Amino acid sequence: MSNDNSDLVSLIALIVSLVALVVTFLQAAQQYVATASDYRHCSERTLGGWHKRSRRQFIWSELRFEVHFSTPIIHVGIPPSEGSGSRDIYTVPTTSTVSEKVPRSDSPCSSTSGAQYILHTPEGDKIYTSSQNPWFLNSKGTRVEAKCTWLSLLNDTSAAHLEIGIDELMLSYDFMPEGIKKPLAQMDRKSFLTLMSLFQVLWQEEWGRDTKSEEGAGKRNTPTGAGPYCEVTSRDLANFGAVISYRLSNFPPTRRFYLASEKARSAMFNRFELGFNVVLTHSEEEVYRSAWAIADEDAADNVRRYYDPHTGYAPGLAEVIGCFAEPEMPKAIEHGTDSFVSIFSARSVACTLDDYLVVQLLIGEEIQHSTPHSKTFASWATEYISSLKHDEGGFLVDQLQTALTFAFTYLRKDLHQRSPIPWSASRRCLDIIKMLDRKLSTICHSLAPGQSELSVHAEFAKLQVRFGSTLISRASVQAQPSQGYWRDFIGAVVAEWSVEICSILGERYQGSRDEVRRGYVVNRLMRGVLWHIHNGNSASNQPHDERWLECSLNSRWLSDASTIWID
């Protein structure tokens, strides 16, 4: 009997010892595992498909785990045309025939008109589209409260027709700054601001604006803004810098964002590269310097005088932009519909070329308050159109007349009565712009043999700024006898200074034929009108919303390649 009791006691002691051993083992294991507690921040709930790149490495010399995670370095570029190394500036984007909202995160858009992703690896570059559901866009299994905001941003790039470069960056949680619980991704500032401009983010708290106050200067480093699709906030961490959070709105984008070229991207930051000059239009001082660089001090003073009182109106300088700037500006095209919104600086493009009286002259009709110069210029426009009838079987001439007639009908309506310009009408304008630009090369060769085209454009632009900057005062003088409104005399004044410009061009390029000089002026004014129709459609038809699409950041931010951290 005693043996049985002894065996029972031994068994119980063994069990107790085993339990104690297991508990001790678990305690030891827990202590070691606790050294990798940050690993939970690298889980699928936080990183989506990126969690497979996370790992724990045991450091024997320190008897603990070190947590490594992988995040992207994101770059935004402009995709080239197929079969070429650069994009054709006259290329028009297409929209899918399927009418559906642009999907988010879990279901990347299936249209090939979206972003192209280039994953840079040690073995070489791998190219994807969002329709291939690449692992770096996978956000299945994530939780809203835990997911990295850069994963949402990366998914939202699928709505943009851009080239998204992704470098994989391996980091250690040992060196994460205090206050950060999510793995950080990186973007260069230019790429980040490009996307935010496309997403129509308006920046608050004066961030990014030029200011002499110390308070304003500090706010530049902590961007806060919001748009129809997202919200951007940031916090400043001591000894580290600003960390940005990107929050989705409740309304997914219904548009695809299209950016044609690097010059088009510059226009979003109020920088227009014309070839012969760079025009900056973000502030009164930039407009003044740009006008002086093209023309002279008197013209610059005239432009600056009207800039602030007329809500960013830059007479003369704005016309030059329409006549020579990149024809294809950034746009948000409604997916599966016939509508679009243009995304560029609204401040820089308000000018006389979107006045119906000017278009009426260009279609050869007599205008209100007509003068001998008005009739002369209208006849020039008719002659120029007739000279194009033998080009391409007259097909493009018919398109030109149709586009100008559409512009006349559209611009003649009161601002509050204008409906959005259809995307199909906008696309037709781009075809005509291409034809006019192509014809201009022939005109330049006849106007100034042996000289560069840019030198001729610079001469015409100088005259445009000089005469255009006096348009309001000259129209007001003509309106005074009848006590009329100066805007009613815009057409007459434009015709008047167009005739004067032709005369000056005759002195500058002696030996050139009259019809060549006339053709040059008419060609550019037609191009400027159609440029405004093609890049039209502000956010609304309310005057107080005129600047809604204007990028609130100075063009100097374009050259800032510093790192943006996104949590």
- CA–CA separation, 312 and 304 (whole Å): 9
Q: Who contacts 404 (Cβ-Cβ below 8 Å, separation ≥6)?
A: 359, 362, 363, 526, 529, 530
Q: Is 3 exposed, middle or buried (0-12, 13-18, 19+ CB in 10 A)?
A: exposed
Encode pLDDT of 220-254 as tens digits. Answer: 556 788 888 889 998 888 888 889 999 887 777 77
**Dihedral over alpha carbons 125, 131, 134, 138 (to 10 degrees):** 150
Encode pLDDT of 366-378 as tens digits. Answer: 888 889 999 999 9
Residues 492, 361: contact at Cβ < 8 Å?
Answer: no
Residue 346 gets which letter from DSSP? S
Give pLDDT, residue 524.
96
Residue 13 resides in a domain: no
Query: Minimal CA–CA distance to 522: which of 400, 395, 372, 342?
Result: 400
Q: Count of domains in the chain?
A: 2
Give pLDDT, residue 205.
58
Shared-domain flag, residues 487 and 368: yes
Shared-domain flag, residues 283 and 418: yes
Shared-domain flag, residues 251 and 264: no
Domain boundary residue among 205, 227, 255? 255
Q: Indicate yes or no: pTM above 0.75.
A: yes
Give pLDDT, residue 542.
46
Distance linking the first and last C-alpha atoms of the chain = 71
Place of tokens 């650069």: 86
Query: Minimal CA–CA distance to 486: which of 363, 335, 368?
Result: 368
Shared-domain flag, residues 274 and 373: yes
Residue 31 resides in a domain: no
Q: Who contacts 496 (Cβ-Cβ below 8 Å, separation ≥6)?
A: 371, 373, 374, 474
Residues 95, 336: contact at Cβ < 8 Å?
Answer: yes
Query: Minimal CA–CA distance to 488: which of 356, 378, 303?
Result: 356
Domain boundary residue among 255, 286, 306? 255
Shared-domain flag, residues 227 and 365: no
Residues 396, 435: contact at Cβ < 8 Å?
Answer: yes
In one letter, which amino acid is 351?
A: C
Residue 341 resides in a domain: yes
Dihedral sign from CA coordinates of 125, 131, 132, 138: positive
- CA–CA separation, 366 and 377 (whole Å): 10
Give pLDDT, residue 213.
44
Shared-domain flag, residues 284 and 422: yes
Shared-domain flag, residues 342 and 451: yes
Q: Is 372 exposed, middle or buried (0-12, 13-18, 19+ CB in 10 A)?
A: exposed
Q: Token digits for 311?
A: 């809500």
Residue 418 resides in a domain: yes
Residue 355 resides in a domain: yes
Q: Token digits for 545?
A: 């919303």
How far apart, in Å, are the Cα atoms of 381 and each of 29, 207, 328, 430? 87, 47, 25, 20
Q: What share of the chain is helix, strand, coil (3-state, %, to 5)?
A: 50, 15, 35
- CA–CA separation, 4 and 109 (whole Å): 74
Shared-domain flag, residues 397 and 305: yes
Shared-domain flag, residues 212 and 351: no
Nearest 5 degrees, angle CA 321-CA 197-CA 226? 135
Query: Minimal CA–CA distance to 550: which of 305, 271, 291, 259?
Result: 271
- CA–CA separation, 462 and 31 (whole Å): 76
Domain boundary residue among 226, 255, 284? 255
Query: Minimal CA–CA distance to 50: which of 236, 184, 163?
Result: 184
- CA–CA separation, 122 and 407 (whole Å): 53
Q: Token digits for 192?
A: 């980040």
Give pLDDT, residue 73.
94
Residues 267, 344: contact at Cβ < 8 Å?
Answer: yes
Q: Token digits for 221?
A: 């480093």
Give pLDDT, residue 538.
64
Give pLDDT, residue 59.
67
Residue 95 resides in a domain: yes
Residues 353, 319: contact at Cβ < 8 Å?
Answer: yes
Residue 336 resides in a domain: yes
Query: Minimal CA–CA distance to 489: which of 473, 467, 465?
Result: 473
pLDDT lower than 50: segments of the chain? 32-36, 83-84, 96-112, 212-219, 541-544
Residues 66, 174: contact at Cβ < 8 Å?
Answer: yes
- CA–CA separation, 23 and 37 (whole Å): 20
* Long-range Cβ contacts of 470-477 (<8 Å, 24+ apart): 470/302, 470/315, 470/316, 471/315, 471/316, 471/352, 471/497, 472/306, 472/315, 473/302
319's enclosing H/E stretch is helix 317-324
- CA–CA separation, 114 and 258 (whole Å): 9
What are the strands, taking DSSP E only, across 25-132? 55-59, 64-77, 116-121, 124-129
In one letter, which amino acid is 541?
A: N
Residue 11 resides in a domain: no
Q: Token digits for 27?
A: 């305690």
Q: Which domain holds residue 244?
A: 42-255
Shared-domain flag, residues 180 and 298: no
Shared-domain flag, residues 231 and 269: no
Dihedral sign from CA coordinates of 503, 504, 510, 515: negative
Give pLDDT, residue 373.
92
Residue 123 neighbours by CB distance under 10 Å: 6
What are the strands, taking DSSP E only, across 7-101? 55-59, 64-77
Three-state secondary-structure class, residue 459: helix
Shared-domain flag, residues 395 and 423: yes
Q: Who contacts 311 (Cβ-Cβ below 8 Å, separation ≥6)?
A: 347, 350, 546, 547
